[in-house]
Structure 1
Amino acid sequence: MHRPLTALLAAAVLTLAGCGSPARHYEIPPQPVPSGETPLSGRTSAIGEVTYTVIGLRTELGEVIGSHGSWIPHGQYVRVRLLMVNNGRERHDFEPGRQLLVTTDGRTYAPSTDAMQISRAVTGTQTIASHELCAFDLWFDVPKKAAVRALRVYGDPSSSRLGDQLKNAPVAGARNPVDILLK
């Protein structure tokens, strides 16, 4: 008679202790924030099977400096640090050059080719593998007095489901692009 009660108590203790169930999230060590950058949290949106999180923002940069040169903006450089996570079973593509910075006046700006090259930021189509994490910076040259509002992300809304792939259908309900607020 005590055996079922003992088994029940043992199961409860193991459940409360977390034994027998896998962790649901990675515990990623804190990363140092580059000088002058503002770390952001809670700025996540999804396009299809990929989540996009803006994790850092720096405005009013007066110069970009790389190992092989430096460049002064026409206005100010804005650097946005973006983390992407592919939650699907297939690879997804991402094109850094398609992303847009939206200012409070509604104008949009493409990444600065000069700043991206000098900072050795990623260029060209990037492929994100299944369940891969990928973070990098996007550099924009905007007017000196411009205030940033959002990063407009263009992603890959395609689905890993075979039925969707055969029909070339996106993930149900996928929006593309999405605006991730920066302020």
Structure 2
Amino acid sequence: MRNPLIALTGAVLAVVAMSGCTGADRGASASPSPSASPTPTYDLPPRPVRPGEIPVRSAPVVDGETRFQVIGLQKGLSGFFGSHAEWQAKGQYVVVRVVVENTGRTNSRFDAGLQRLVAADGTSHAPNKFAQAIKRQPETFSLGAQVRVEMDLWYDIPKEAKVAAIRLFGDPPLGVTGGTDGAQVPLP
């Protein structure tokens, strides 16, 4: 015959284990858990588009640990005035307004000189260093972790060239050597 004390101990342990699994002893309900609430967002006020600028409504693109969003475009400018100089285009100025964001956990390097404006015929153009300097746009800078910067990229392209896209290059993740492939955004 079996020992009644061993049988009773086994029954008590089974009940305790089963009640621990249901959560009944902690006041948990048997209904499924509620769905997670949506991630809150910042409420930023809309800003007017600058004179002569076309708003661009493109989805953000990512290259390396850098997220880009193109938000504005100006084309066909023959020249401009800066705070200390006037500069005429050899062809036409095209200005692309971008938001650059470091999605990584460490600093990344942004180099405006790597960003390429792509014409309809497939040729690509680097930003114009003189226009960038006169308009006081940075050439290279360290972009802190989770930091966003909004800036203009100035290009001087042939007068007859038609703008097709911009190819944006970010910084590769920490520890990765070499460059990135870039991410292309069509332009109107």
User: How high is the TM-score relative to the length of structure 1?
Assistant: 0.77
Q: How does 1:133-144 map to 2 (within 5 A)?
A: 133-144=148-159
Deviation at residue 177 of structure 1 after TM alignment: 1.8
The aligned counterpart of 1:179 is 184
**Pairing of 1:3-42 with structure 2 (within 5 A):** 22-23=39-40, 25-42=41-58
Whole-Å Cα distance in 2 between the matches of residues 96 and 138 of structure 1?
Answer: 7
- Decide whether aligned partners of structure 1 residues 107 and 41 sit closer, same or farther in structure 2, where only a CA change above 3 A counts: same
The answer to whether the aligner puts 1:158 opposite 2:173 as a matched pair is: yes
Distance 1:158 1:76, change over 3 A: same
Q: How does 1:1-183 map to 2 (within 5 A)?
A: 22-23=39-40, 25-123=41-139, 125-159=140-174, 165=175, 168=176, 175-183=180-188
Distance 1:169 1:72 in 2: 39
Q: Distance in 2 between matches of 1:65 and 1:74?
A: 15
Give the Cα–Cα distance (whole angstroms) in 2 for the partners of residues 71 and 32 of structure 1. 26
Larger radius of gyration: 2
CA contact (8 A) 1:47 1:155 kept: yes
Secondary structure of 2:184's partner? strand
| Structure 1 runs, 4 residues or longer, greater than 6 Å off | none
Q: What is the aligned-residue RMSD (CA, Å)?
A: 2.4
Q: Is the 8 A contact 1:43 1:182 kept in 2?
A: no
TM-score (norm 2): 0.76
